[in-house]
Chains A and B, each alone.
Chain A
């Protein structure tokens, strides 16, 4: 079983600041981390490999510093890592990103055919959730998004059973292998890695490919040139205002609350998928 996980280096958006003048992310203000969803993707690959055996490779596109997220993935339990890094990839939108990643996946699969690709649900910076499905489309394999459980992997008969998150529950799917999953955080808990993984990661040096190492690449589909997305305008959403605070004695608080609820009956409606 060969599982490839796509991992992206992102700024830690919990701390990142927005430059108020230009409305762009001040990338220096936050450390770069492994996209949190991708950490769960790697962890899920580890869980699967522990049952089926095989190899986990991780793939990232980014600047040379993105080696750090590959090492982090090795900590979690990946075996191999590939970084595609080249000026030609810079400024890519989701279309160009998924093109470049799919070309790298094709090359990886020549050595060791890929049975399963796993991505995060979305990257916490770009936030589109389009790269996973974009890759699947190009590799012509089924994309299965919002995965919350991989309940069965049968590598002999080449199928998987998957639970997909829905607004009002979940959906159970059987899919062929190979396929591509994008995973939610609730799919697993990141485990505290064994010491040997930490030592392996500290020592690990990933394979780094430039654009010329990939095969059959149409360079016009890469990077800024290959990105039809035009960023019109960026703005920070207005700050959320704190809710109203009810104060006073318990009795008076209850009274006030009842008053609000009687006035705003809509607050009591239970949300359903259709409403």
Chain B
């Protein structure tokens, strides 16, 4: 009775849908299984969708995808209690084709993307939880779901079930992640009329801004916050590694509340109406946490494989690209009718040769460095705010003297050697 497919993809997020889309496009018989009421119904993202990897799958997607705003400005805030040092870039070349990136609401975007996979011939079923892979003779041959008569079979099962992938854990591909390998993030969607958003963020038409906030947004703990503009709402969120949260006894919703009331943030939200509250984990272990990604009859993609660049808040693009690489490997494997680990390792090779693993490798020590040496967030950011304040306050002191005084106060607090050491360490972690 149970049907056999070429490919079963578990999870209709960007990784799974990308894989299903590309497999179906190549004529494979694909079943895409999603546990939510519809794709995206439970998915969470700050909201920046990168043009490049999406375009590789669907050229000129911006002409029809449900996007919020093209991002024309990116700001970075180093925030203290009552001050902020900011830098950023705004450029109108980002307001025209081919654009740079967009804000999106995942509940809409994922649904649209999954529909595209369906148009390519993938079969999508919702409200169905995959409970385990069916393994026979050391090979994954299908999945078992929570539905009556719930088995389905395939040559390859692709696990795109997101961060904390229970399915790849069951297969023994990875251990339980440590609290310093995942970030707990909470966010809120706040409705605000379009003209208010455009006024407050100094925007025209559908242009959008993203603000990444460091420092006091996490009360000095390792993590970041963000404030992004949608068409008629704002996404605001904050997260830190689970270990920081435990250590500092932070409650995520309290942190978000603190951020929303912060005097630097509050004016942007004024009068807005909270529409949605979401919480989600982000895999931030990076290079050192990437699990086994290929086995006999099985591949792991996206967040399930810990493919997130936390420093650059890139995740959805890595998910899509990895899904596409998995699809390419499956198409090749199908030609040889060989779905062994050896054959499917084509995916692993592609992944490790791509920007994904290269970027993760570049930053492999960053999170660890910043977590082990909390001074960056706890001391240097406030120092920077004080320095700026001093430098720009006009009080009759000559500028050169101000510079000296600033340097003196920084090194006095920490010692010249210590400061140099910290700078070198930070540079090494992100170079």
Residues in B115-151 with C-beta less than 8 Å from chain A = 118, 123-125, 127-128, 145, 147-151
**Do the beta carbons of A195 and B123 come within 8 Å of each other?**
no
B125: chain A residues at CB < 8 Å are 195, 198-199, 201-202
Known contacts A196-B1, A198-B128; A203/B123 CB under 8 A: yes
Known contacts A199-B3, A199-B31; A194/B128 CB under 8 A: no
Interface size counted on chain A using CB atoms at 8 A: 10
Known contacts A198-B128, A199-B3; A193/B123 CB under 8 A: no
Would you give the shortest CB distance from B38 to chain A, in whole angstroms? 8
Which residue from chain A places its CB closest to the CB of B151 in the assembled complex?
Answer: A195
Q: Does B152 contact A (CB under 8 A)?
A: yes
Residues in B1-33 with C-beta less than 8 Å from chain A = 1-3, 31
A235: chain B residues at CB < 8 Å are none
Interface size counted on chain B using CB atoms at 8 A: 17
Would you give the shortest CB distance from A200 to chain B, in whole angstroms? 10
Tell me which of A194, A202, A203 contacts B150 (CB under 8 A): A194
Q: Kindly state the separation between the CA atoms of A199 and B1 in the bound complex, as whole angstroms.
A: 12
Tell me which of B124, B147, B151 contacts A193 (CB under 8 A): B147
Which residue from chain B places its CB closest to the CB of A203 in the assembled complex?
Answer: B123
B148: chain A residues at CB < 8 Å are 192-195
B128: chain A residues at CB < 8 Å are 195, 198
A203: chain B residues at CB < 8 Å are 123
Number of residue pairs A-B, CB distance < 8 angstroms? 37
Q: What mask results when residues 21 to 38 of chain A are scored 1 for a CB within 8 Å of chain B, else 0? A: 000000000000000000
Would you give the shortest CB distance from A195 to chain B, in whole angstroms? 4
Q: Kindly state the separation between the CA atoms of A202 and B29 in the bound complex, as whole angstroms.
A: 13
Q: Kindly state the separation between the CA atoms of A202 and B124 in the bound complex, as whole angstroms.
A: 6
**Do the beta carbons of B123 and A196 come within 8 Å of each other?**
no
Would you give the shortest CB distance from A131 to chain B, in whole angstroms? 27
Q: Kindly state the separation between the CA atoms of A201 and B124 in the bound complex, as whole angstroms.
A: 9
B149: chain A residues at CB < 8 Å are 194-196
Would you give the shortest CB distance from A35 to chain B, in whole angstroms? 17
Q: Kindly state the separation between the CA atoms of A68 and B323 in the bound complex, as whole angstroms.
A: 28
**Do the beta carbons of B147 and A192 come within 8 Å of each other?**
yes
Q: Kindly state the separation between the CA atoms of A84 and B138 in the bound complex, as whole angstroms.
A: 51
**Do the beta carbons of B150 and A195 come within 8 Å of each other?**
yes
Q: Kindly state the separation between the CA atoms of A80 and B148 in the bound complex, as whole angstroms.
A: 21
Q: What mask results when residues 194 to 233 of chain A are scored 1 for a CB within 8 Å of chain B, else 0? A: 1110110111000000000000000000000000000000
B2: chain A residues at CB < 8 Å are 195-196
B1: chain A residues at CB < 8 Å are 196
Q: Kindly state the separation between the CA atoms of A177 and B149 in the bound complex, as whole angstroms.
A: 33
Which residue from chain A places its CB closest to the CB of B125 in the assembled complex?
Answer: A198
**Do the beta carbons of A199 and B123 come within 8 Å of each other?**
yes
A196: chain B residues at CB < 8 Å are 1-3, 149
Would you give the shortest CB distance from B275 to chain A, in whole angstroms? 12
A194: chain B residues at CB < 8 Å are 147-150
Which residue from chain A places its CB closest to the CB of B123 in the assembled complex?
Answer: A202
Q: What mask results when residues 141 to 182 of chain B are scored 1 for a CB within 8 Å of chain A, else 0? A: 000010111111000000000000000000000000000000
Would you give the shortest CB distance from A148 to chain B, in whole angstroms? 26
Residues in A98-145 with C-beta less than 8 Å from chain B = none
Q: Kindly state the separation between the CA atoms of A203 and B118 in the bound complex, as whole angstroms.
A: 10
Q: Kindly state the separation between the CA atoms of A203 and B123 in the bound complex, as whole angstroms.
A: 7
A199: chain B residues at CB < 8 Å are 3, 31, 123, 125, 152
Q: Kindly state the separation between the CA atoms of A187 and B125 in the bound complex, as whole angstroms.
A: 27
A198: chain B residues at CB < 8 Å are 125, 127-128, 147
**Do the beta carbons of B124 and A195 come within 8 Å of each other?**
no
Which residue from chain A places its CB closest to the CB of B149 in the assembled complex?
Answer: A194
Among A192, A193, A198, the most chain B Cβ lie within 10 Å of the Cβ of A198
Would you give the shortest CB distance from B276 to chain A, in whole angstroms? 13
Which residue from chain A places its CB closest to the CB of B3 in the assembled complex?
Answer: A199
Q: Kindly state the separation between the CA atoms of A192 and B125 in the bound complex, as whole angstroms.
A: 14
Q: Kindly state the separation between the CA atoms of A111 and B152 in the bound complex, as whole angstroms.
A: 34
Q: What mask results when residues 75 to 114 of chain A are scored 1 for a CB within 8 Å of chain B, else 0? A: 0000000000000000000000000000000000000000
Among B125, B127, B145, B151, the most chain A Cβ lie within 10 Å of the Cβ of B125
Would you give the shortest CB distance from B108 to chain A, in whole angstroms? 11
B151: chain A residues at CB < 8 Å are 195
B31: chain A residues at CB < 8 Å are 199
Would you give the shortest CB distance from B148 to chain A, in whole angstroms? 4
Which residue from chain B places its CB closest to the CB of A197 in the assembled complex?
Answer: B147
B127: chain A residues at CB < 8 Å are 198
Residues in B317-358 with C-beta less than 8 Å from chain A = none
Q: Kindly state the separation between the CA atoms of A270 and B284 in the bound complex, as whole angstroms.
A: 63
B118: chain A residues at CB < 8 Å are 202
Q: Kindly state the separation between the CA atoms of A192 and B149 in the bound complex, as whole angstroms.
A: 11
A192: chain B residues at CB < 8 Å are 147-148
Would you give the shortest CB distance from A43 to chain B, in whole angstroms? 14
Would you give the shortest CB distance from B131 to chain A, in whole angstroms? 12
Q: Kindly state the separation between the CA atoms of A198 and B148 in the bound complex, as whole angstroms.
A: 11
Residues in B167-219 with C-beta less than 8 Å from chain A = none
A202: chain B residues at CB < 8 Å are 118, 123-125
Q: Kindly state the separation between the CA atoms of A198 and B151 in the bound complex, as whole angstroms.
A: 12
Residues in A181-196 with C-beta less than 8 Å from chain B = 192-196
Q: Kindly state the separation between the CA atoms of A199 and B126 in the bound complex, as whole angstroms.
A: 10
Q: Kindly state the separation between the CA atoms of A203 and B3 in the bound complex, as whole angstroms.
A: 13
B124: chain A residues at CB < 8 Å are 202
A201: chain B residues at CB < 8 Å are 125
Would you give the shortest CB distance from B142 to chain A, in whole angstroms? 11
Q: Kindly state the separation between the CA atoms of A19 and B149 in the bound complex, as whole angstroms.
A: 45
B152: chain A residues at CB < 8 Å are 195, 199
Other than the given A195-B125, A195-B145, 7 more pairs (CB < 8 A) read: A192-B147, A192-B148, A195-B147, A196-B2, A202-B123, A202-B124, A203-B123
14 contacts between A and B (CB under 8 A): A194-B148, A194-B150, A195-B128, A195-B147, A195-B149, A195-B151, A195-B152, A196-B2, A196-B149, A198-B125, A198-B127, A199-B3, A199-B123, A202-B124
Name A residues whose Cβ lies closer than 8 Å to a Cβ of B. 192-196, 198-199, 201-203
A-B interface, 4 closest residue pairs, ranked by CB to CB distance from nearest:
A202-B123, A198-B125, A194-B148, A194-B149
